[in-house]
Amino acid sequence: MERPYILHMLTPKAWMSPFDVNMAADAGYQTIVPYCGIGLGDVAGLTQDAIFSRGPKGVTRTGLFIGGRDALQAQDMLDAARQAMVPPFVVSVMADPSGAYTTAAALVACVEAQLKKHHGQALAGQRVVLLGGTGPVGRVAAVLAAQEGAEVLISSHQGQTRAQGAADEMNQRFGTRIQGVSGSDLAAVQASLQGAGIVMGVAAAGVQVLPAAARDACPSLCVAADINAVPPEGIAGVGVMDNGQPLAGTRAVGIGALAIGNVKYQVQHRLLKRMCSAGQAVNLSFPEAFQLAREVLAEGA
């Protein structure tokens, strides 16, 4: 009798995301067990309980998924799980807190593809502004863009101090040079966009971070991407279905939440299937998600 595919899902939150549970089931996991309220110190023990109970062959059908909300905490938990492995008892581990890793990967990959398609340019050397960028998606997208050679600014409506604090945390962890800027009012947003080629709306749902007046005051803008699917639109003029549509009054094109979400969905599904069917342990975080997002987009080019 074949052993079932088991996924142990760890989260610091009071509940595991139903979205992630559904995705795991659709990827082929037969037994899915959530562990809620998990701290960093719990990860090693849970990992070793999972690996030693199935034997070297059984571990190939066992996985760990790390959720939560905090982008850095999830990375710490992933690292703790990896360090707790005792070869040959090694299982696959994937982190995607609140879908932030796969969403950020899809966002940056979509921007990169449209920038190349419509303007013949790469991310390297671009000035990228992430409005509402102190959340998990904004932070991870900032790191990915910075690693591709862009000049990246995280903006916060709470001001420059809050934004710079988030930037410093990511810089310290990933060796990037992200900057924090104020987005506390319209004047601050307009100032941050001077010379920007790319703007990403990554704020909370239902919050407009870039009105038309501020958008139109940025003649250098090439791509505007928005992950907000709840009215009002996060970036004025970018519809949720847009996927490279011209942005009225500018030379930019827009990318909407559902276009980004379609790529995010495919990336998460394929990563979970990779864990389930790889035959050997894999470790999956946002760099792997970004590479896969690029592949998904290339397939549809």
Q: What is the mean pLDDT of residues 196-200?
A: 98
- What pLDDT digit, counting tens, does each position of 90-110 carry? 999 999 999 999 999 999 999
CB 132 within 8 A of CB 199: no
CB 86 within 8 A of CB 51: yes
Question: For residue 21, what are the contacts with CB-CB under 8 A and spacing of at least 6?
Answer: 9, 32, 34
Q: Is 197 helix (H, G, I), strand (E, B) or coil?
A: coil
Peptide bond preceding 136: is omega within 30 degrees of 0, i.e. cis? Answer: no
> What pLDDT does residue 56 have?
80
Mean pLDDT of the chain: 95
Question: By C-alpha distance, which of 126, 235, 251 is closest to 189?
Answer: 235
- What pLDDT digit, counting tens, does each position of 139-181 carry? 999 999 999 999 999 999 999 999 999 999 999 999 999 999 9
> What pLDDT does residue 280 have?
86
Q: Give the pLDDT band (50/70/90) at residue 248.
A: confident
Q: Name the residue with tokens 């940025």.
A: 218
> What pLDDT does residue 301 have?
60
**Matching CATH topology for 6-95 and 102-260?**
yes
- What pLDDT digit, counting tens, does each position of 6-52 carry? 999 999 999 999 999 999 999 999 999 999 999 999 999 999 999 99
Question: By C-alpha distance, which of 249, 270, 266, 254 is closest to 300?
Answer: 266
Q: How many whole angstroms separate alpha carbon 154 and alpha carbon 182?
A: 8
Domain 6-95 has CATH 3.40.50.10280: yes
CATH label, 102-260, candidates 3.40.50.170, 3.40.50.720, 3.40.50.970, 3.40.50.12780: 3.40.50.720
Q: What is the mean pLDDT of residues 112-135?
A: 97
> What pLDDT does residue 1 have?
57
Q: What is the mean pLDDT of residues 68-92?
A: 96
Q: What is the mean pLDDT of residues 202-221?
A: 91
Q: Is residue 292 predicted with pLDDT exceeding 80?
A: yes
CB 51 within 8 A of CB 64: no
Domain boundaries of the chain, sorted by first residue:
6-95, 102-260
In terms of Cβ atoms closer than 10 Å to its own Cβ (0-12, 13-18, 19+), residue 183 is: buried
Which stretch of DSSP H or E encloses residue 102?
A: helix 100-119
Q: What is the mean pLDDT of residues 116-125?
A: 97
- What pLDDT digit, counting tens, does each position of 219-230 carry? 999 999 999 999
> What pLDDT does residue 54 have?
85
In terms of Cβ atoms closer than 10 Å to its own Cβ (0-12, 13-18, 19+), residue 15 is: exposed
